[in-house]
Amino acid sequence: MNSKLSIKHFEAVIFDMDGVLIDSEPLWKIAMEKVFSDLGCNLSKNDFQRTVGLRIDEVIHYWNKNQNLGISDEKKVEDDIINRMVELVSENPIPLTGVIETLEYLTKNKLKIGLATSSPNNLLQAVLEGLKINHFFHVAHSAEFEEFGKPHPAVYLETAKKLNVDSNKCLVIEDSLNGIISGMSAKMKVVCIPEKTHLKEPRLRVADFMFEDMSLMLAAFKNGY
């Protein structure tokens, strides 16, 4: 990993959403545990660590095959989980440490700001509206509209295209291994701010930079600029 981070090397910063802007990873596990339990499958929150960073349709398909659940309508399961997630996010939308301050700093310094998430678009909109941060983002793009989700780079490449910025001028902020691989595969530099349950995952250190929270990343921006 590099030790010095300066925004003068970039024209755009692209944020992941879950676990980066909002502490939604635990909420995903709550929603999935409930819906899968209703289907007679007792998957735990620890089990869901194995599918962090994947699109929700890919998560459901994975567990349907892995556990031989015999789910014939995976889209119905997906809709149930997403609807529960929208409810959970709307009940208590709290940004993670340093998010608002970082968005304000990037805006002040005239960088383009994007969002590239594996989550579906209706949840993306619920988060932006709940946190009241819509106005900061020039582009907000969901992998729902791509053939492949993370770790494929498509969602980051399309976000950069919509921002009209070359990939090598983009900085990605991620929390999961699949997200890091996605950003690096798109030829972007990647900051990893691990979601708390990922802190013991040594492979996250493949990222170009790592910080415990976004306020520390913001301090690095200010010191390196």
Chain segment 2-22, per-residue pLDDT in tens: 557 899 999 999 999 999 999
Residue 205 has pLDDT above 70, yes or no: yes
Listed range (16-20, 210-214, 221-225) with the worst mean pLDDT: 221-225
**Structure-token pair, residue 73:** 């309508």
Q: Tell me if 208 sits within 8 A of 186, measured CB to CB.
A: no
Percent of the chain having pLDDT more than 90? 71
Q: Which residues are catalytic?
A: 16, 18
Chain segment 100-122, per-residue pLDDT in tens: 999 999 999 999 999 999 999 99
At 165 the pLDDT is 98
At 1 the pLDDT is 53
Q: Which residue has the higher pLDDT, 2 or 175?
A: 175
At 63 the pLDDT is 92
CATH of domain 7-23+95-224: 3.40.50.1000
Interacting residues of 37 by C-beta distance below 8 A, sequence separation 6+: 43
At 199 the pLDDT is 52
Single pTM value for the model: 0.86
Axis-axis angle for helices 25-38, 74-91 (nearest 10): 140
Tokens 């913001």 locate to 218
Cα–Cα distance measured from residue 35 to residue 81, given in angstroms and rounded to the nearest whole number: 6
At 188 the pLDDT is 98
Q: Which residue has the higher pLDDT, 43 or 142?
A: 142
Q: Any bridge partners for residue 191, and if so which?
A: 173, 209
Task: Calculate the alpha carbon distances from 151 to 45, 59, 181 in Å.
Answer: 21, 13, 5
Cα–Cα distance measured from residue 190 to residue 171, given in angstroms and rounded to the nearest whole number: 6
Cα–Cα distance measured from residue 136 to residue 104, given in angstroms and rounded to the nearest whole number: 8
Cα–Cα distance measured from residue 158 to residue 217, given in angstroms and rounded to the nearest whole number: 25
**For range 59-66, the mean pLDDT:** 91
**For residue 176, which of 152, 209, 207, 131 has the smallest C-alpha distance?**
207
pLDDT confidence tier of residue 225, bands split at 50, 70 and 90: low
For the chain, which residues make up each domain, given as ranges?
7-23+95-224, 25-91
